[in-house]
Amino acid sequence: MAGRTSLVVVESPTKVKTIQKYLDRGYVVKASLGHLKDLPKSKLGIDVKKNFAPQYVPVRAKAKTLDELKRAGKKAKALYVATDPDREGEAIGWHIAQELGLPPERVYRVLFNEITEKAVKAAFKDPGRIDQKKVDAQQARRVLDRLVGYKISPLLWERVRRGLSAGRVQSVAVRLICEREREIRAFVPQEYWSLHAYLAAATPPEFVATLREKAGEKIVPSTEAETQAIVAELERLPFVVKAVDRGERRKNPSPPFITSTLQQDAARKLRFSASKTMMIAQQLYEGVDIDNEGPVGLITYMRTDSPRVAAEAQAAARDVIAARYGPETLPERSPFYRARKSAQEAHESIRPTLLDHPPERLARHLSRDQLALYRLVWERFLASQMGPALYDTLTVDVTAGPYLFRALGSALRAPGFMAVYIEAPDESVASAVPDEIESEVSGLPSLEVGQRLGLVRLEPKQHFTQPPPRYTEASLVKELEEKGIGRPSTYAQILTTIQKREYVQKDRGALSPTDLGETVTDLLVKAFPDIFEVAFTAQMEESLDEIEEGDQKWVETVRQFYGPFAKDLKQAGIEMEDLKKGKATDETCPQCGEGKLLEKWGRYGRFLACERYPDCKYTRNPGDSAQPEPEQAGITCDKCGRPMVYKQSRYGRFIGCSGYPECKNIKPITLGIPCPQEGCGGEVTERRSKRGRAYFGCSNFPTCRFVVWQRPVASPCPKCGAPFLTQRGGRGKRFVACWREGCDYRREIESA
């Protein structure tokens, strides 16, 4: 085979250019563009009776890529699988090796956690073989997910509506969001009060102490009357310094990023979704063109649950830290961060690959989002290798009769890692001591035990306990990780899928279930209590890890799952509630007066319909009031002469013929404002775009194409004479403004 080249297969075309430059002419690098084989879309593709054998077929969209790889494989002396270092990458490589048909002794596996010259050359110098245990773990996950999705989804189509689907892991994530939403609804706020004493010593300044105890026991007043009684008692008591304790507090740096923490901090600091974070991280990992260096992989592999750092990366970090921030910011030895039990220790944390590429040097080579994420990774990694932040603390206990007040002070003495990076606060964690006031140490006067203090004033504050917050993408990823649901490669896909399926909606970053999400979750949890249970799903993840470690066989794991699942599936086929048929209500149909209204599900969600359909076609949304008689529009249909009535659809309110469906004549509702286009004669009407956004256009559309996006107000512009103004708003204020280009008239209006 002299003179023949070796074929190297990676997943992404971006990596082709990056890796090719590190290899000599004896290698040709090509991309698979992900999976080349998968289970068929049109059928289950699993032979349950033959040990759950998966029936893989070539991915139709990748036929050209597969043919190209096969041609290259015929000429190659060896195949080097250089796909991503995880289960999916292993399975992709396994399928490629099967399709190319090279003998096993000519198929090699190369693994690297970073795409740098050193890492790539080291991997090719000491290649391994495809790890069948990893392949089996991926097969088990794929088969389990296919069984759940393809067996349960038809039930949802039959009982709720077509197009719905269930996912083994995604449905559990939706369940968590639904359960949190119900906690919020069931929450009853409890009143409580805090009490602060403003005190003066012999020397200024005044300081604040918070009520903590009475007669040695914690006290939190629950009513204003109780608080005022304490205030009245305290006003007659002397305030005396009981204890003055000076100390030191150390705050240690967080570990370098793993997938979940990168997604969390990118969400909190950069407002990135999990999917956006992973997309940009992939770009930084695969390589970015830098000056004359060509494509350079800037961070290590971004799908990891291990905080491990290579020894030489730690040594390089110490050099950079000492030079940039001073040797005093370094700990005596590089820190060691312990991984979770299930973490893959062969992986590293997410860190910069080349510390001689600081963010400021790369600013002109990266997009704004790439630079922001790279800076986050860079700063978090350097901080993780630095010493702790040191605070001087001062705690002063003050007594007044049986009551104890506490004043807290702190001052940052040595910033340590905080000179580089401060982790964003976790929005899901509440303060342990509500309304605690902490001052700078310098803001507390010199105090001695036994010293009597002057009471300046007492300040009570009313509070109410708060419900648990809705999940954000960041806090849901944290919850999934802590409960052992999913793995680094799946978090972003879980979040994307549950929103795409319209089971979950996101509003200002907060995730809440849709009506559809709650309905489907209730059906699934009732019919499949084990499969969609959090602990069961976590146990399945552990079983997949054990397959990868060689401690379980994948077929046996799937068989243990399928037995109870098949039993539940059969029972669900009999017992699962049929929402298409409808759930009876106590309300009589207001149109025919005979049938009862049924609560049903349709393409656009829940609705009420008469049980006498098709004889009676009355329907309405559940939240709408009953309207036996449609609201008259005051005009007659110009096609059939019958009255026109107001109607409602998902695109907004309009006027339609009362003779529907025989006559389907409809008209838009006008705002009573003439179209400003000269000679048009039409009126401004409210319309809806295909995406559901309201806009305002001429009733003579498409002859007249006048459009504005803000709601018109029937008031002429006092500056330019335009026939109407438009209503706008922002930052809590409302105003009207002229819509004509070049006119800057604007007037604030009072909010209703």
Spatial distance between the Cα atoms of 282 and 299, rounded to a whole number of angstroms:
9
pLDDT tens by residue, 390-416: 999 999 999 999 999 999 999 999 999
Q: Please name the fold of domain 191-250+393-464.
A: Topoisomerase I; domain 3 (2.70.20)
Q: Return the number of other C-beta atoms located less than 10 Å from residue 443's C-beta.
A: 15
SS3 128: strand
Q: Which CATH architecture has domain 144-186+470-572?
A: Orthogonal Bundle (1.10)
Q: Where in the chain is the domain with CATH 2.70.20.10?
A: 191-250+393-464
Q: How far apart are CA 724 and CA 712, in angstroms?
A: 6
Over range 179-200, report the average pLDDT. Answer: 94
Q: pLDDT tens for residues 103-134?
A: 999 999 999 999 999 999 999 999 999 999 99
551-589 per-position pLDDT tens digit: 999 999 999 999 999 999 999 999 998 888 888 888 888
Burial track 466-478 (b if 16+ CB lie within 10 A, e otherwise): eeeebbbbbbbbb
pLDDT of residue 626: 63
Whether cis (ω within 30° of 0) applies to the bond prior to 205 is: yes
Residue 208: pLDDT band (50, 70, 90) is very high
The β-bridge partners of 210 are 196, 406
Per the CB < 8 A criterion, the answer to whether 95 and 101 are in contact is no
Res. 56 pLDDT band, cuts 50 70 90: very high
Question: What is d(CA 262, CA 302) in angstroms, rounded to the nearest whole number?
Answer: 9
User: 385, 334 in Cβ contact below 8 A?
Assistant: yes
> Running DSSP on this structure, what letter comes out for residue 595?
S
- Nearest alpha carbon to residue 675 among 684, 685, 664: 684
The answer to whether residue 433 scores a pLDDT higher than 80 is: no
Residue 439 CA, chain-centre distance (Å), reads 35
DSSP 8-class letter at 258: -
Q: How far apart are CA 295 and CA 285, in angstroms?
A: 10
Q: What is the pLDDT of residue 435?
A: 63
CB 711 within 8 A of CB 693: no
Q: Per DSSP, what are the bridge partners of residue 713? A: 725
- pTM comes to 0.79
Note the pLDDT of residue 523.
95
In angstroms, rounded to a whole number, what is the distance separating the alpha carbons of residues 419 and 320?
Answer: 14
Q: Which of 293-297, 343-347, 539-543, 559-563 has the lowest mean pLDDT?
A: 343-347
Residue 220 phi, psi (nearest 5): -135, 100
| Per-residue pLDDT tens over the stretch 240-251 | 999 999 999 999
The pLDDT > 90 percentage for the chain reads: 67
3-class DSSP string for 620-654: ECCCCCCCCCCCEEEEECCCCCCEEEEEEECCEEE
Distance CA 65, CA 55 (A): 20
The CA-to-CA distance between both ends of the chain, in Å, stands at 83
Overall average pLDDT of the 135-146 stretch: 96
Residues 6+ positions from 627 with CB-CB distance below 8 Å: 590, 620
CB–CB of 423/449 below 8 Å? no
Adjacent-strand bridge partners of 726: 712, 737
Tell me what pLDDT residue 699 has.
83
CATH 3.40.50.140 boundaries in the chain = 6-130
Confidence of residue 432 (pLDDT cuts 50, 70, 90): very low
Domain 6-130 has CATH 3.40.50.970: no
**Do 169 and 537 touch, CB atoms closer than 8 A?**
yes
Q: Mind listing the pLDDT tens digit for each residue in 84-96?
A: 999 999 999 999 9
- What is the rounded radius of gyration, in angstroms, for the C-alpha atoms of the chain? 33
- Using CA atoms, how far apart are residues 629 and 658, in angstroms rounded to an integer? 10
- Which tens digit of pLDDT belongs to each residue from 412-422? 999 999 999 98
CA 580 – CA 156 distance, rounded (Å): 10
All CATH 1.10.460.10 domain ranges of the chain, comma separated, are: 144-186+470-572
Whether 148 shows a pLDDT value over 90: the answer reads yes
- The pLDDT value recorded for residue 714 is 87
Fold of 259-384: Topoisomerase I; domain 4 (1.10.290)
Residue in 301, 391, 562, 618 annotated catalytic: 301
CB atoms within 10 A of CB 689: 10
Higher-confidence residue of 81 and 593: namely 81
> Cβ contacts of residue 540 below 8 Å, gap of 6+?
144, 168, 561
Nearest-angstrom CA–CA distance, 35 and 17: 20
Tokens of 548: 């990868």
Calpha distance 163→156 (Å, rounded): 8
**pLDDT tier at 752, thresholds 50, 70, 90:** very low
What pairing do the DSSP bridges indicate for beta strands 79-81 and 6-10?
parallel
In the block, residue with structure tokens 């392949």: 135
Q: Where in the chain is the domain with CATH 1.10.290.10?
A: 259-384
Known active-site residue 421: no
In the structure encoding, which two tokens stand for residue 457, read together? 């004033």
The whole-number average pLDDT for the span 281-296 is 89
Tokens of 308: 């491990």
Which of the residue ranges 423-432, 455-464, 701-710 would you say has the lowest mean pLDDT? Answer: 423-432
